Amino acid sequence: MSKRDVKERIQDFLEVDEGISENNAVLEATRCMECVRPNCVKGCPVNIDIPGFISAVAEKNFRKAADIIKSDNMLPAICGRVCPQENQCEGKCVLGVKEKPVRIGALERFVADWERKNGIQKPDIAKPTGKRVAVVGSGPAGITAAAELARSGHSVTIFESLHAPGGVLTYGIPSFRLPKEIVKAEIDEVLSLGVELKLNHIVGRSIPVDDLLSYDAVFLGTGAGLPSFMGIEGENLNGVYSANEFLTRVNLMHADSFPDYDTPVLRGGKVAVVGGGNVAMDSARVARRMGAEVFLIYRRREEDLPAREAEIANAVEEGINFYCCANPTRIIGGPAVTGIECVKMNMKSPDESGRPQPVPIEGEEAKFIIEADVVIEAIGQSPNPLLISLIDALKKGERGNVIVDENGMTSIPHVFAGGDIATGAATVIEAMGTAKKATAAINEILK
Amino acid sequence: MAYKVEKASEIAENIFEYWINAPHVSKNAQAGQFVVIRIDEKGERIPLTISAAKGDLVRIVFMGVGKTTKYLSTLKSGDYVLDIAGPLGHPSEIKKWGNCVLIGGGVGIACLPILAKALKSAGNHVTGIIGSRNEKLLLLEDELKEDCDELVICTDDGSKGFHGFPADILKKKLEETNIDCVWIIGPAIMMKITSMATIPSKTKTFVSLNPIMVDGTGMCGSCRVTIGGETKFACVDGPEFDAHLVDWDELMSRQRIYPAQEKESLENFQEHQCRCGEHHHE
């Protein structure tokens, strides 16, 4: 894997990681032990036959490798780039015990990129079943569900509320981590299976709930789009953004190219980002690329940062300043932000997530102020309430999620849900995993 | 997929009425809801209140103020906008209130017809009060005369109708008769000042808030407003709220997050328009 030079890459939004060469891919593939009971497969939320595709790479049969991956995962170029492999496949690789695990993510990406360059092969599609299925949302869950359902021969319509498909892949993850032409190519591939995509359609508003429920089956993949705010003083000052807003303005609306594009964003001289996940890293690195000095505030220790390892390393390289064990107490200014007051945190015994519980240190000396003209809150999102609040018969959980059984079935028998709307905010690949389960169950009820 | 502007016309000075072909919006539109429009690939998403809906067509009315609305105003009948999403937001609370007063200020007048029709159908007595700076900026009078049981016209300069503000008429009405519910739709400062009139009598008063939005579906939080001390998203929790609970100063401050950018964008657009104009003459 070669990464672009820091000085160069913080000037643009082109991809940081340039991937591995064919030679290195083959070499890396030969490291695989081809375990009889491969742990890596268990670590993969969509259970890709990892040793199978890697052995095809080792044989330089990249077409075969692509076919193997795509029988389980229609979006490999995306997953190869954004999966937290260290917690999934690579985290389970036996080679990781003594040396470095096989770089499964890099290999997946290599295969997907190879296929895109050398011609994508259309998968087999079953005979038309005559059944109509509605998919709500075109993020990772919706796209996966649509692909699986179309391959099973159903007539699939995706409804997307925004003007572009992809959900978080489009509005959330920046192009330096996931180039938009790759998202487009993988979505186009799904659409080429005969899936109909209706943009600008807000289900529950543009499509009445009764119309939605009249489909033979429904898959809800509306995601966790509702941004959380900390609930501290000064949050509505001008210059305070949710990460969703900041990233949407740049990734979806191209505010980085203002005024060529019409949507503005405050670039900020000094930007404070609150949070420690992938979304926080993305926000920090976007702000950096627009010329700001960036401070990232995280309430636990550096080793507890939940973001993907590679992105933390990239953020550090790109000059993001980390304030760990600190938590904002108020945002200062009026009407525009001038700073953010924080308190230092002490780590107490682990909570139920296994991470240490951060507790504010008492006394004025534990407080400090970071000067900032933009504050971005990346402290999580909860399930999108718009549609599910309009479907009365749908059982909802305390966290605003849709309650589903192990097959993704909701309290309405022909309505299924997957991705963040069912699980709460999780990763792209987990969303795809739950979508795949749900589509298998949909196929069962449509038999 | 783009959406055709079937009929574009300037109905008052610098105020435009477009009927856009968007069945997914028009067939489901209710009073109080809005659409988000994006003109072209480089365009921003702007919210506009639905003024009427008929068959496959939805009507929007806007004033050419910033780059986007000025650019939108250059479209002619038969042109297209790239995206129109909606209907968005909660519909107005339509029920039998009794005596309703609907107040429109400036381009906000355009929001009243669909609301007046719905309230009338629900059995209410509807009084419309519309106000603008002068006669040239008045709009939809004839239509509103039909939709309302009574229509009062005001101008700030007295060039037509009552010489003064809708708030003056509202105060008089509140003294004369029993009013059950009031809607006030217009610029934030006008809504703030006009809604003060109903505080003493505690008359139920709705306002339609117009903060800056991006997606319009509750995903970004750009449109957050403080209502009774609580943060709400105008796009999904509103856009209509109880006027007496709104933090008006915060709303007006948050409407002015991007003055420099708005100026730059508009100047760029106007400069470009001039250049194109020159080119055209050659």
The pLDDT tens digits of the residues spanning B184-204 come to 999 999 999 999 999 999 999
* B contacts of A201 (beta carbons < 8 Å): 24, 85
Say yes or no to pLDDT of B1 above 90: no
Interval B139-177: pLDDT, tens:
999 999 999 999 999 999 999 999 999 999 999 999 999
Say yes or no to pLDDT of B280 above 70: no
**pLDDT (mean) for A262-273:** 95
Q: In Å, how far is B164's CA from the nearest CA of chain A?
A: 32
Size of interface A-B (CB pairs under 8 A): 122
Q: What is the ipTM of this complex?
A: 0.94
Topology of the domain covering B3-88: Elongation Factor Tu (Ef-tu); domain 3 (2.40.30)
**pLDDT (mean) for A81-94:** 92
| Domain residue ranges in chain B | 3-88, 99-255
Nearest to A199 among B1, B219, B250 (CB): B1
Domain A6-118 has CATH 1.10.1060.10: yes
Pairwise CB contact (< 8 Å): A206 & B250? no
Name the percent of chain A lying above pLDDT 90.
87
CA-nearest residue to A265 within chain B is B258
Say yes or no to pLDDT of A190 above 50: yes
User: Which carries the bigger pLDDT value, residue A122 or residue A421?
Assistant: A421
One fold for both A6-118 and A229-379? no
- The pair phi, psi for residue A76, each rounded to 5°, is -70, -30
CATH class of this structure's domain A229-379:
alpha beta
Pairwise CB contact (< 8 Å): A262 & B24? no
| Domain residue ranges in chain A | 6-118, 132-225+382-446, 229-379
**How is chain B classified by DSSP, letter by letter?**
--EEEEEEEEEETTEEEEEEE-HHHHTT--TT-EEEEE-STTPPPEEEE--EEETTEEEEEEE--SHHHHHHTT--TT-EESEEEEEESPPP--S--SEEEEEEEGGGGGGHHHHHHHHHHTT-EEEEEEEESSGGG---HHHHHHHSSEEEEEETTSSSSEES-HHHHHHHHHHHS---EEEEES-HHHHHHHHGGGTTTT-EEEEE-----SSSSSSS-TTEEEETTEEEEHHHH-SEEEGGGB-HHHHHHHTTS-HHHHHHHHHHHHHHHHHHHHHHH-
**pLDDT (mean) for A71-88:** 91
CA-nearest residue to A261 within chain B is B42
Homologous superfamily (CATH) of A132-225+382-446 is: FAD/NAD(P)-binding domain (3.50.50.60)
Say yes or no to pLDDT of B47 above 80: yes
Asked whether the bond before A385 is cis by omega within 30 degrees of 0, the reply is no
Q: In Å, how far is A306's CA from the nearest CA of chain B?
A: 22
Confidence of residue B36 (pLDDT cuts 50, 70, 90): very high
CATH class of this structure's domain B99-255:
alpha beta
**pLDDT (mean) for B42-55:** 96
Write down the pLDDT at residue B279.
47
Confidence of residue B87 (pLDDT cuts 50, 70, 90): very high
Interval A215-237: pLDDT, tens:
999 999 999 989 999 999 999 99
Interval B221-267: pLDDT, tens:
999 999 999 999 999 999 999 999 999 999 999 999 999 999 999 99
Write down the pLDDT at residue B281.
43
**pLDDT (mean) for A200-212:** 96
The pLDDT mean for chain A works out to 94
Say yes or no to pLDDT of B277 above 80: no
Name the percent of chain B lying above pLDDT 90.
95
* A contacts of B218 (beta carbons < 8 Å): 225-226, 384-386
The residues, ordered by sequence, that sit 6+ positions from B125 with a Cβ below 8 Å of its Cβ are B98, B99, B100, B149
Name the percent of chain A lying above pLDDT 70.
100
